[in-house]
Structure 1
Amino acid sequence: MKIFYGWWVVLASFITGMYVAGTIFYSFTAFIDPMVKEFGWSYTQISLASSLRGLEMGIFAPIIGIYLDKYGSRMIMLVGMLVVGLSLVLLSTIHTLTMFYVCFIILAFGAGGCTSVVVMASVANWFKKRVGLAMGIAVCGFGASGLMVPIVVKLIEVFGWRSAFLYMGIGAWVIGIPLSFVIRNRPEDYGMLPDGEIKIENGLEQEEEIPEVQVTFKQALTNRSFLLIVSAEWIRMMTVGTLITHIMPYLSSMGVSRSMSGFISAGIPLCSIIGRFGFGWLGDIHDKRHMIALGFGLICLGLLMFLKINSTMIFVVVFIVAFPIGYGGGMSLRGAIIREYFGRASFGKMVGLTMGVSSVAGIIGPTLGGWVFDHFGSYHPLWVGFIFLNALGIVLILRVKPAHFESF
């Protein structure tokens, strides 16, 4: 039986997301202490680079969303991988804080072309009824990127942080460029339909005769449900971005060894695969709003355990299970719920705006985390605040109207 080409798009998106997220997002925390040691920079100064990386979703994501709807995913992803590789190679040569920041701005531009917005748009174009499952599998790549953390940690230990950046940049070219040519834009361009439905001479199959919702970008901007979805995403991105950036310094401050910290850091994205795949699959069966709310609840539970993570092993286990499943599940459904409510017509613009707005939180969060530690010597006030913030996320997503009640 011939495999529907949409699944090859999912596979290419999975591998691309795994590599890019593993090298520039989850592994960044491993570079903090070595760079502090070499340059004497503060945690706040280095954490600001993580915030600048958030430009991929801030300034660049809405722009990329516009070009996605106009030109498609393949060219955007190719350029993105070329720029990611270049920026990582340049990071291996930096000697000043200014150049460090410049490289991360370039990195943000490249990452915007080959991560969340492009991955979600690519998959959304190829699936409708199974969009939750397909998107869940694709974003599992970001979860599997946890496999990159111990590899990067070992590269830093053996070759130093500069060589680690160099090897990561070369890898981006070797892996990413061929995969970008696997991506295709819309199934209709190749005589196919979403989900692999078949055209027949007298029209489409019965289930395809019912037109899918197609909401314009302008309509979405004034829609209450869209604004609530964006607000909830803002909360999740701030929480995840801050914790991932500061997890190893925080665990070190709690007396956890660097090797164990690396294990926990790797376990977070890996365990998020359960949420990404499971919530994606369940989101095609159950109300996506309820599944996203459950994800916020699991994040709250995980953060409670994080506060006591050095007390007993049970706190480590519950944190590694609850937090990543919660945020991974929410991430797999953010594109799916937009696809369900608003269709494909302006999907790139809507996802680009969603990621752009939420990136404001991604910029504030890591810098705020560094400031809290520099001034109070503890991250605890930060995690307590995030518990309450994610509880608010539950309220916001449950206030979104059911999809069939929306009218435009």
Structure 2
Amino acid sequence: MRLRIVAVVVATSSLVLVSFLLPLALVLRTLAADRAVSAAMAQTQSLAPLVTSLPARSLRLTVAQVNAGSSTPVTVFLPDGTVIGSPAATSPSIELAKHGASFSTAVAGGVEVLVAVDGLPGGTAVIRSFVPDTELHHGVARAWLLLLAVGAFLLVLSVVVADQLARSLVRPLIAVAQAAERLAAGDLSARAAVAGPPEVRLAGTGLNRLAMRIGDLLARERESVADLSHRLRTPLTALRIDAESLRDIRLIDDVAMMERTVSEIIREARHQRGEARGMPCDASQVIAERAAFWRPLAEDQERQMRVSVPPDRALVQASRDDLAACADVLLENVFTHTPEGAGLTVRVSHRAGGGAWLVVSDDGPGFPPGGLRRGVSGAGSTGLGLDIARRVAEESGGTLAIGQSPSGGGRVALSLGGPPGSDGPPRRRFTRGLPRTAAGPGP
């Protein structure tokens, strides 16, 4: 924008300077020529009384003195044909002047000024003064150079002024854009400096009000989620007391996990976006533990549950609780939306460049046509499960992909990014020609 403003000002200034200086240069040239011709005319007319009063010898000396100190040579044509002064040929213009006409005319190399002098016994004498081109254009080149210098100075001045004007316009806009970028990156404390022209100040004020409004809405949303989650503590406490009275260790563990989940929801709802989300975890260990948790239910429903995790560590940039919640969501979807007896596969493998792949596939009917949308479900669920898995994958630097398994069922593949400094999977150890890991290199 700054360069465009400067370019517009330069173009406009150039047009104004050309339209002003070009006619002025032509006027100066015309004035110089008129000045030279007028001077020659005055010199010629001053000799007219001498032509009628002086004898030929005295007139010759006078004309010689005039020519000696003048750049415009003078020639006197007497009626008897005598030529006094600078040699000059008799031209049709001189013949015309002998009839009593005084005028100036352009000839080769300059302008000649002719003055007719009456009152001589033999007829009319003619005084000729020749003004060369050098005299006609004397001082014009210097005047043009001066005009050119003035025009260049004005053009440079206009560029400087336009640049300062553009800076005063662009700097507030850049500040507003930077504040908007910081807001987009999650920095809700970013504010734009209210400066510059009224329109820019209005935009900055509007952006600041928008930032304050976003902060208020997010704070209200976090508090609402935290309050709603906190209300679950009372029924969970009662449920834990009932479970302890039944002395069912598995039920007690389930209730304790639910309490931890609710606490994590409260903490997550209250934390600002962009804060640290926990230490990296070992995806192999977490997925193996969650698969062992769900295996009894698979056996009760006569499902074939295949689990494949690498024997070495697969570090991912996700907290243990987030990854466990993600695995529970994917496995719960399989148990909820596929018929009993449908098998499933859970596979973890190293990802090139660091991180891991988590793939959960089943032998059920697959995902409905048209895809899935957040908050929409046709099977009695909230429709947020896969969105939670997607969020965990994206926050780790990965992605989520939904597809079809080889058996025609559903397939969810999560790409989980590795922690900073990870450079991909470790070297595999081979025993008798077979890799120790049961998982392939990709999803």
TM-score range, shorter chain: under 0.3
Return the structure number with greater relative CO, CA threshold 8 A, min gap 6. Answer: 1
Q: Report the TM-score, using the length of structure 2 for normalisation.
A: 0.17
More strand by share: 2
Q: Report the TM-score, using the length of structure 1 for normalisation.
A: 0.18
More helix by share: 1
- Which structure has the bigger radius of gyration? 2
